[in-house]
Amino acid sequence: MTSLPEITGLSAINPSSIEKPKQMQRQLRAPGEAKHGWWWGTGRRKRAVARVRIRPAKEGAAGVRIQLSDKASKTVEEYFSELRDRNDCYAPLSVTQMRDKLEVVCRIAGGGYMGQAQAVRLGIARALRDYDPTLEDALRDNGFLTRDAREVERKKYGQAGARRRFQFSKR
């Protein structure tokens, strides 16, 4: 049995080697300016907000820290107990191979642990995009620059919850 490329006379094509037409290519942004040596990104998810700062790491300072107060901070491993949440924080850095090259400091407010981890992921991705605009395609292809806008629906008056009604009684 012959394969399809032999029948049609085409050679096997590597999808990554196909160049996108000009109309489909994204224009590179101008690199963002560093404010006092830091690049900033804000991430939001549900009720959680993460303000993220990144800068090139000095010796031994590479990594992600969660800043709790002016003096106290924790590593991602200390702050998030779930492996899923830790992986969310490191995902943009792993995809762009910048995990050991940058110092990342996050301030988190509101929400639960999962929402906070996803807010940190979005904040890091936005800061990375401003730091080096050539990373935008890799970040966008993995969905790290897309804001997840789903929120909890509010409870309505006269109902037990957002959609749930009180039990109907005929008598």
Residue ranges per domain, the chain? 33-141
Q: What is the pTM of this model?
A: 0.79
pLDDT of residue 42: 94
pLDDT in tens, the chain (171 residues): 555 555 555 556 665 566 666 666 777 777 777 788 889 999 999 999 999 999 998 887 888 999 999 899 999 999 999 999 999 999 999 999 988 899 999 999 999 999 999 999 999 999 999 998 899 889 999 999 999 999 999 999 999 999 999 999 998
Torsion-angle region of 149 (φ positive above 0: left; ψ -120 to 50: alpha; else: beta): alpha
CATH (residue range 33-141): 3.30.230.10
